[in-house]
Structure 1
């Protein structure tokens, strides 16, 4: 199957975002993307509304389905269970874009495959709402994204129907999310966020609105 991320763009600017819902830099990158798109719209009045699509990437694909205790995960990955030293730099970047993550509230490091399945079940503005709700739940509220009832409640709050939620969690949603993760890695993506503009130009990392606007203009031949 051809990777949809590499599809030729249409009349509207298209941004494919490869990310994980437990990646703090991805949440920062989302805000930077929103700022960049606002500037693009202002500079191109009358242009079609940009299309943003979210794609899965698991930072920790080997975690068990039920996840692990956050302190154990931090100790295993960073050598310390104290998030304050780990997140000093990303915390400053988050505050610079209007976010106030509360890392100390996070008690569990989840396997994110089912969360990605919910993102994949939505499209357009509904997908933006699901992504935002999952980010906010994890980083602001310390929500346990391994708990099915939590995932269902968050998806409903974001506007997904019960039928779409069931299909995502009980149907082929997880399988499709795993396939999307594999396709991203085949593109050479090894870290997130990763933005692909119009299927042809990549921006790696949360580089800021200026870098994204520049990529938009380059991809559009401006």
Structure 2
């Protein structure tokens, strides 16, 4: 049974190279602020491209291969995302040389950061590092630098990646959400039972929060 007096629990399954994940989160954040909803957010790992090689792949080529999108369609989508980002205070700096990367190490660092109550901060920093600064999130040194900038110990961050101590935990978490039927992200679960997928828009999230408030009494 849900504790009606507890903050609203929001579990968000996402990847840090998923543009709609940061858009959806920013829209949700606006709705949470507008409604004054007490909440706690828990981030969970999902890899859009678990088989992506270390060197990554050109983003345009990747989108064309994976989704069959033409160059024109990709450009239209990037323009739409850039406009959405601007409206939400987030900068998408797409360019033709941007690459898609493997994010398994990034998820391990987030898992570690979460043990120090810095998971949310690192998640936001990684979104910005990839989409705004176009950083290589598969590069351990880049990840360590980002972690350090969010107040985490650089030496410990490097050790976490070197010994892969959280690899099994992240794999188990990823497997859990796939077993729950999650095939795309963002996926948000409210109060552990109400699933909402995709970036819904601030107005829709506001409506969802209002409905949940009624259900919670």
TM class by shorter chain equals 0.7 to 0.9
Normalised by the size of structure 1, how large is the TM-score? 0.82
**Cα distance in structure 2, aligned partners of 1:71 and 1:204:** 24
Change in Cα spacing, 1:66 to 1:125, as seen in structure 2 (3 Å) is same
In structure 2, the residue matched to 1:196 is 189
Q: Secondary structure at the match of 1:181?
A: helix
Partner of 1:148: 140
Contact 2:14 2:185 in 1 (8 A): yes
Specify which of 122, 126, 131 is matched with residue 123 of structure 2. 131
TM-score by length of structure 2 reads: 0.84
Structure 2 unaligned regions, length at least 5: none
Where does structure 1 lack aligned partners over 5 or more consecutive residues?
1-6
**Matched length:** 210
SS at match of 1:104: coil
1:25 pairs with 2:16: no
1:63, distance to aligned residue in structure 2 (A):
0.9
Aligned match of 2:178: 185
- The answer to which of 118-127 and 70-79 deviates more is 70-79
Contact 2:81 2:92 in 1 (8 A): no
Distance (Å, rounded) in 2 between the aligned partners of 1:52 and 1:26: 14
**In structure 1, C-alpha distance between the alignment counterparts of 2:97 and 2:135, rounded to whole Å:** 7
| Contact 1:114/1:168, CA 8 A, preserved across alignment | no
Alignment RMSD, CA only? 2.5
Q: CA–CA distance in 1 between the matches of 2:210 and 2:160?
A: 36
Q: In the superposition, relative to structure 1, how do residues 105 and 114 fare at CA in structure 2: closer, same or farther (>3 Å)?
A: farther
Q: Which residue of 2 aligns with 1:84?
A: 75
CA contact (8 A) 1:195 1:202 kept: yes
- CA distance in structure 2 between the partners assigned to 1:204 and 1:188 by the alignment: 11
Q: Does 1:172 align with 2:161?
A: no
In structure 1, distance between residues paired with 2:97 and 2:109: 20
Describe the shift of the 1:179–1:92 C-alpha distance in structure 2 as closer, same or farther (beyond 3 A): same
Distance 1:106-1:178 versus aligned 2 partners, 3 A rule = farther
Deviation at 1:164, TM superposition (A): 4.6
